């Protein structure tokens, strides 16, 4: 295979006698490298022309066309002259390979974009959530400072330590109704301070 560029213009200007290509394919099927060289010279420009129309990228088109030519070598024994001409068979393989490449590249691009979008969204959401949590925590601390000592202690024990009203009353050594009233008043003040609407 001594051609200067495997997928350059057809040096024969399309004058290759293609009537003997079925015989060339038969020889290629038997592993004849010389016959493959003839087949290559005859079909490479056709294959490349089909591929570049679909793929459009020169480097990728050359790669796909090379893969098609390798397919023709490997699948030569499958060729059936009564099904299609050699050029039609090669053109079909070339078109299929080109479409597969375009789909593969598009799928890869879509995956990369989706991943980038997920990473961006995740990073933004995490930062926003952390900022929101920190602001909420600071606001809660500020609002707690606005409560009376008994209200602050009762709310803190009930909501941050998980104690029941009765347990809070025992710890504070205060009557249960007083603790309930103070806690209710404290929660109302907290709600108003935090701007929570019901």
* 141 HSE (CA, 13 A, CB side): 6
pTM comes to: 0.52
Most confident of 110-119, 123-132, 143-152, 169-178: 169-178
Element spanning 49, H or E: helix 33-55
* Cα–Cα distance measured from residue 103 to residue 179, given in angstroms and rounded to the nearest whole number: 69
Element spanning 26, H or E: helix 21-29
18-32, 118-132, 142-156: the lowest-pLDDT one: 118-132
Residues 6+ apart with CB under 8 A from 67: 97
Using pLDDT thresholds of 50, 70 and 90, give the confidence band for residue 23. very high
3-class DSSP assignment, residue 153: helix
pLDDT confidence of residue 157: 82
Using pLDDT thresholds of 50, 70 and 90, give the confidence band for residue 178. confident
* Cα–Cα distance measured from residue 83 to residue 193, given in angstroms and rounded to the nearest whole number: 83
pLDDT tens across 66-119, in order? 999 999 999 999 999 999 999 999 999 999 999 999 999 998 888 888 887 776
């Amino acid at each position: 295979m001594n051609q200067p560029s495997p997928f350059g213009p057809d040096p024969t200007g399309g004058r290759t006698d293609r009537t003997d290509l079925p015989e060339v394919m038969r020889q290629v099927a038997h592993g004849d490298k010389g016959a493959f060289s003839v087949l290559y010279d005859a079909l490479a420009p056709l294959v490349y022309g089909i591929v570049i129309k679909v793929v459009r990228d020169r480097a990728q088109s050359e790669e796909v066309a090379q893969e098609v030519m390798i397919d023709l070598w490997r699948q030569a024994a499958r060729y059936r002259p009564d099904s299609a001409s050699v050029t039609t068979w090669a053109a079909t393989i070339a078109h299929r390979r080109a479409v597969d490449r375009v789909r593969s590249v598009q799928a890869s691009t879509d995956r990369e974009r989706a991943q980038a979008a997920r990473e961006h969204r995740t990073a933004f959401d995490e930062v926003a959530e952390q900022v929101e949590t920190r602001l909420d925590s600071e606001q809660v601390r500020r609002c707690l400072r606005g409560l009376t000592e008994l209200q602050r202690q009762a709310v803190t024990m009930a909501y941050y330590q998980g104690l029941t009203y009765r347990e809070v009353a025992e710890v504070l050594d205060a009557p249960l109704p007083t603790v309930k009233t103070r806690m209710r008043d404290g929660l109302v003040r907290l709600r108003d301070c935090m701007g929570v609407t019901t």
